[in-house]
Each structure stands twice: as structure tokens, then as C-alpha cells.
């Protein structure tokens, strides 16, 4: 199973659950170098929304991969066996705070870390993109955008949907005011590949969209930041 390197793919917004940005789906699948890929979907953040699960099967059916999903809002029985049998895990969007609470209540966070360390690729969109970080700027905590703790696989902070100017402004302000550590903002239609904990590649499906590295003093294109490393 597994890869030589540990990989996470964080997608700012869009993708198959929105019937858009096919290039991003392919980008995720292409990170696995196996022939027979087991691709597992978790839609916990939308309380296992049936329409999203149907879209998962209908939109990804064209790829020659084994698709399955797990409904954690019903039960976590058998989850560890299912998780460790996957090559790629894809986490759908929705309420980040709710999703992380379900994971915590069922003692699943260590399992995700075990999967990551064993070489299973972790990926996801929106809530499923940001959950891996130490800190998140989220709209799932009260009104507006507020800091939320992630599950601490990737260091720093992250916000999805940074093409929304109000969200980006809040993210920059929170970093400047030390409410959040420096981190990465990802626009809709953009995926960022992390290898062994570091951002390595940006895949953009939409014109004018990008990902950014943000600290107290600057906002730079993540590609530019990666090239400086």
C-alpha cells in the first residue's frame, strides 16, 4: 500500500461534489502511483449528505479506481479497517467544527495520523482541506470567521475559499494580530500538494485563482514561496 513520501492535498473549493474542476480530481488521483487505487470518501462535514455521496460515485466513476465511502455520522464500527485499506482518502466540505468533533468523539484523529504515516494520501476540499493544519480560519465557529484548532498534521494555519475577499482580509488580520500563526490561503479551484509536511506544488483549475503564503508582513503567491525554499 503506501507511498515513499507522506502526502496531503488541500483543495480550497469546488471539485467533484460541485461538478467542477475535473483537473483537481485528476491531480489527487495522479499523486498515487499504484495501479489499483482504493479511493475512500468521507462526507462527515455535511452529516453524510446523500447527494454529495451520489456525486462522488457518479463523477469519479470514469476513473479506473475502486470507490468506497464511510458514513461516520451513523457509526464508526469498522472504520479503522476501512481507512487502512485505502490508498487515498478524500474529505468533503461542510461544517469543519462538527466534523472534527465527530472525529474526536470517536477517537479517530490518531487513526488519520496513522494512515498518513503509513503512506495513505490524505486529501479534501474546504473543511477537508484545512482540517489537517494546526489552526484554521473557519466559518463554523459562531458568526463570521474565527480561529479553530485543526488536527495538527501540518504546521501553521490555513483558510479555504480565499477568493472570498472578506475571508482573505480576516485571515490576514488574524495573522497580523497573532490570533493565527502564518499559513496558507487557498482559493476555490486550487489544490496544494504537501509532501512530508511542506508545500511542494500548486494545481490551478480556474483562471485568476491561486494559493498564497501569508505571514505578518506579506502575502505572496505560494508558487513563489515554494521556489524560494
Cα gap 47→62, rounded to integer Å:
26
- Tell me how far apart the alpha carbons of residues 212 and 60 are, in angstroms, rounded to a whole number: 28
Round to whole Å and give the CA distance between 221 and 229: 13
Among the options 46, 76, 123, 126, which is catalytic? 126
126 is catalytic: yes
Q: For residues 68 and 101, what is the distance between their CA atoms, to the nearest angstrom?
A: 23
- CA atoms within 13 A of residue 1's CA, in its CB half-sphere: 17
Catalytic residue among 46, 69, 140, 161: 161
Q: Whole-angstrom Cα distance, residue 47 to residue 127?
A: 12
Task: Answer yes or no: 118 catalytic.
Answer: no
Cα distances (Å, whole numbers) of residue 93 to 174, 189, 196: 23, 14, 24
- Contact between 12 and 187 under an 8 Å Cβ cutoff? The reply is yes
A 10 A CB-CB count for 90 gives: 28
Q: Name the residue among 138, 140, 115, 125 with its Cα closest to residue 191.
A: 125
All cell numbers assigned to 36: 489499483
* Catalytic residue positions, numbered: 126, 161
Amino acid at each position: 500500500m503506501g507511498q515513499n513520501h507522506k502526502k496531503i492535498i488541500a483543495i480550497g473549493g469546488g471539485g467533484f461534489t460541485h461538478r467542477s474542476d475535473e483537473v483537481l480530481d485528476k491531480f489527487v488521483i495522479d499523486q498515487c502511483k499504484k495501479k489499483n487505487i482504493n479511493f475512500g470518501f468521507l462526507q462527515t462535514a455535511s452529516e453524510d449528505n446523500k447527494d454529495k455521496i451520489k456525486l462522488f460515485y457518479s463523477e469519479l466513476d470514469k476513473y479506473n479506481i475502486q470507490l468506497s465511502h464511510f458514513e461516520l455520522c451513523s457509526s464508526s464500527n469498522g472504520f479503522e479497517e476501512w481507512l487502512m485499506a485505502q490508498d487515498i482518502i478524500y474529505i468533503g466540505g461542510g461544517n469543519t467544527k462538527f466534523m472534527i468533533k465527530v472525529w474526536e468523539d470517536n477517537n479517530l484523529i490518531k487513526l488519520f495520523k496513522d494512515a498518513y504515516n503509513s503512506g495513505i494520501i490524505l486529501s479534501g476540499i474546504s473543511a477537508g482541506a484545512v482540517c489537517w493544519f494546526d489552526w484554521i480560519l473557519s466559518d463554523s465557529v459562531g458568526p463570521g470567521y474565527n480561529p479553530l484548532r485543526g488536527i495538527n498534521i501540518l504546521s501553521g494555519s490555513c483558510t479555504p475559499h480565499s477568493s472570498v475577499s472578506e475571508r482573505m482580509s480576516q485571515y490576514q488580520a488574524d495573522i497580523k494580530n497573532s490570533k493565527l500563526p502564518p499559513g496558507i490561503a487557498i482559493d476555490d479551484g486550487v489544490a496544494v500538494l504537501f509532501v512530508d509536511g511542506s508545500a511542494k506544488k500548486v494545481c490551478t483549475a480556474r483562471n485568476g485563482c491561486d494559493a498564497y503564503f501569508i505571514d505578518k508582513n506579506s502575502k505572496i503567491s505560494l508558487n513563489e514561496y515554494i521556489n524560494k525554499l
